[in-house]
Amino acid sequence: MSQNEIILIRHGQANTGAKDEDSYDKLSATGHQQSAWLGVYLRAQNSKFDRMICGNLRRHQETAAGLGLSLSIEIDARVNELRYFDLAKEYQAQTGEPLPNSAEEFAQHVPRLFTAWHAGRLDNAHESYHSFADRFAQVMSELAGLGGRSLVITSGGVIGMSIARHLSLGPEGFSQVMLPIHNSSIHRFSIAKGATQMASYNGTPHLDAADRRYARTVI
């Protein structure tokens, strides 16, 4: 029996010191290394995929290329990430709350930001919360219908939203699912008899070795 599966990969670490979308959108040296290690792992597992998809963001495409798989890369803008910096700047304009400057501040900031976005208060800066949720849900539905094994290179927000919708979580749950997602992590959904089930979350087997644990990054 053929395996029907959708595997979501978060891109490698991007430019962590960025304060806007454009400067964030490129892999760091660690991000390139994470992608290469993940590609070695996938090839060692003799992983076979029917298709590989990524967004049109630079960090997505650099990660996809860094895997070194013998697959053509399909570009689909519906796989793109939410525009966090735009949302955060609109939230700052409304509330006076500055952009976070540390991982701890980011973890506190995101739930408040997503709650405001879900309520429709940040739509001037970005697409709506529900539009973001719906566009990738369309991709998941299409891939489930195609069958086979699909590899999708995307971002933490997209992965977190996919899981949040699957588990019927609101914006607070979405933020709690998204925040721990590691760069270059693996998330699996299996499809059987028309039903999609979440099979794994946040796997980083390519980073298990002691000398690679420094590369378990979330930001």
40 pLDDT more than 80: yes
Specify the pLDDT at position 82: 95
For residue 210, the 8-state DSSP code is G
What three-state secondary structure class fits 10? strand
What's the whole-model pTM score? 0.94
Specify the pLDDT at position 179: 96
What is the tens place of the pLDDT at every residue in 75-130?
Answer: 999 999 999 999 999 999 999 999 998 889 999 999 999 999 999 999 787 899 99
Specify the pLDDT at position 2: 55
Specify the pLDDT at position 33: 98
Cβ 28 vs Cβ 162: under 8 Å = no
Q: Between residues 46 and 217, which one has the greater pLDDT? A: 217
CB-based contacts of 150, cutoff 8 Å, min separation 6: 5, 6, 7, 49, 50, 51, 52, 53, 143
CA distances from 171 to 180, 210, 212 (A): 15, 35, 33
What gap in Å lies between CA 155 and CA 207, rounded to an integer? Answer: 18
Q: What does the pLDDT average to over 193-218?
A: 94
71 pLDDT more than 50: yes
3 pLDDT more than 80: no
- Sorted by where each begins, the domain ranges of the chain are 5-214
Specify the pLDDT at position 1: 42
Specify the pLDDT at position 20: 84
What is the tens place of the pLDDT at every residue in 122-170?
Answer: 978 789 999 999 999 999 999 999 999 999 999 999 999 999 999 999 9
| Class at the top of the CATH hierarchy for domain 5-214 | alpha beta
